[in-house]
């Protein structure tokens, strides 16, 4: 909980600092926002270590179905990277690029999830 408060405070201080610079030198505001985003992203990557340990625990329960866990991790990664990239583009004033990144992320999630859909369809056909 303390870490979340630190990250939240870092984000608020960074935004306030970026707003101050943005009035005089807009490029500095963008650089500060980008730097704060990178710091928060690095913190998130550190937290992913704990999540991966829990995924290893889940994997031990799955038996032979580890590919589903891999798909879940892949989808989480796709969504996080696309959200992060789209946010930076939107903050820099490139809304159209941001929208395209979000569309690519959604399509990538659909394609990554297709094996799960096919497995469900096979299970349904096996029951019929």
How would you label 85-98 residue by residue, b for 16+ Cβ within 10 Å and e otherwise? bbebbbbbeeeeeb
Compute the distance between CA of residue 92 and CA of residue 124 in angstroms, rounded to an integer.
47
Compute the distance between CA of residue 50 and CA of residue 43 in angstroms, rounded to an integer.
12
Only one residue has tokens 């807009």, namely: 26
Encode pLDDT of 20-29 as tens digits: 887 788 788 8
Encode pLDDT of 5-19 as tens digits: 888 888 888 888 888
Distance from chain centroid for Cα 63? 28
Q: With beta carbons less than 8 A apart as the criterion, state whether 68 and 116 touch.
A: yes
Task: Give, in order, the Cα–Cα distances in Å from 11 to each of 3, 41, 46, 82, 93.
Answer: 12, 11, 17, 19, 19
- Predicted TM-score (pTM) of the model is 0.66
pLDDT at site 19: 82
State the CB neighbour count (10 A cutoff) for residue 128. 4
Compute the distance between CA of residue 3 and CA of residue 10 in angstroms, rounded to an integer.
10
Only one residue has tokens 């610079």, namely: 21
């Amino acid at each position: 909980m303390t870490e979340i408060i630190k990250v939240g405070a870092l984000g608020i201080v960074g935004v306030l600092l970026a707003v101050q610079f943005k009035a005089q030198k807009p490029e500095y505001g963008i650089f500060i926002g980008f730097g704060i985003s990178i710091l928060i992203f690095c913190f998130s990557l550190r937290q992913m270590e704990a999540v991966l340990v829990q995924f290893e625990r889940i994997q031990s329960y799955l038996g032979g179905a580890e590919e589903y866990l891999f798909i879940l991790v892949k989808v989480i990664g796709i969504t996080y990277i696309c959200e992060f990239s789209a946010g930076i583009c939107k903050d820099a004033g490139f809304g159209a690029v941001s929208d395209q990144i979000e569309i690519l992320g959604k399509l990538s999630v659909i394609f990554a999830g297709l094996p799960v859909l096919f497995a469900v369809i096979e299970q349904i056909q096996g029951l019929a």
